[in-house]
Amino acid sequence: MKEFNLLPREYQRESPNRSRIVVSVILCLLIWPTGKYGFWKPMETRKEKMRQLASYEEIVEQLPGLEEDFERKQAEAEELRSRIGAFQEMEDASPQHWQSICDTLMDSLPAGASLQELTCDGTRFLISGNCSYDTVSTEYLRNLKNSGVFSDVRMEKILYGGDKAVSFQLCCMLDSQEPEVDMNESEAVAP
């Protein structure tokens, strides 16, 4: 036997089962995004930020000690550099180095000039000699300047002798470079 509902449509009652199922399905579908984006995600973000903040604070706490340690290491490196520099200075003034300087002094001498005396107190040279004309002594000065070994080459005096001979005196500085500690070398010998 078939049942007929003769009430108008708006007065008809929907089947309770159907509406409940729809609501339940909607609720079930809403649970996952609501849980994820409404609870889990903000909590997780806050936890992550707090963890990051704690780690940052931990890092920043190291700063004073780290600065102190860095300065100590810097001073240590500076001291070692100066100690190696003392060795370097000794090596720089090797006989071979002097040999090359003497070679330069002799090779720069133009024809018609001869050396009389040479004094050096480490970096400052005082050179005296004789030549036939004053222009020859200045040519020697130019040659020394152009050799690249000396700097501040300066004629101190030229004395004209009676027999057309000229004696001259000039001074110059040895172009010494600061003893530099070559780190490539230090790395090469590092264990």
Partner 1 sequence: MNPKKTRKVLLVPLCVGLLFLLYFKLFLGPVQEDIRIADRELSALEESVASVRDLIGKREALTTEVSGLESRLREKKGDLPEEWDSHDVVSLLSEIDPGMLKKDSLIFPEPEEGEDFVRLPVRFCFSSGDQGFMDFLACLDAFSVRPSISDIQISAVSGRWEEEIRNSVAETEKMRYTLNVEMTLIFCAERK
Interacting residue ranges for partner 1, rule: CB under 8 A: 38-39, 42-43, 45-46, 49-50, 52-53, 56-57, 59-60, 62-63, 66-67, 69-70, 73-74, 76-77, 80-81, 83-84, 86-87, 89-96, 98-99, 102-103, 106, 109, 111, 114-122, 181, 183, 185-187, 189-191
In the complex, the smallest distance separating the C-beta of residue 191 from partner 1, rounded to whole angstroms, is 6
Spatial distance between the Cα atoms of 159 and 181, rounded to a whole number of angstroms: 45
- Tokens standing for residue 9: 């449509």
Q: Which residues pair with 171 in a beta bridge?
A: 126, 154
> Is residue 169 exposed (0-12), middle (13-18) or buried (19+ Cβ within 10 Å)?
middle
Nearer Cβ to partner 1 (2/13): 13
Least gap, CB of 144 to partner 1 (angstroms): 16
Instruction: Specify the long-range contacts of residues 13-21, CB closer than 8 Å, at least 24 apart.
Output: none
Nearer to partner 1, 13 or 164 (CB): 13
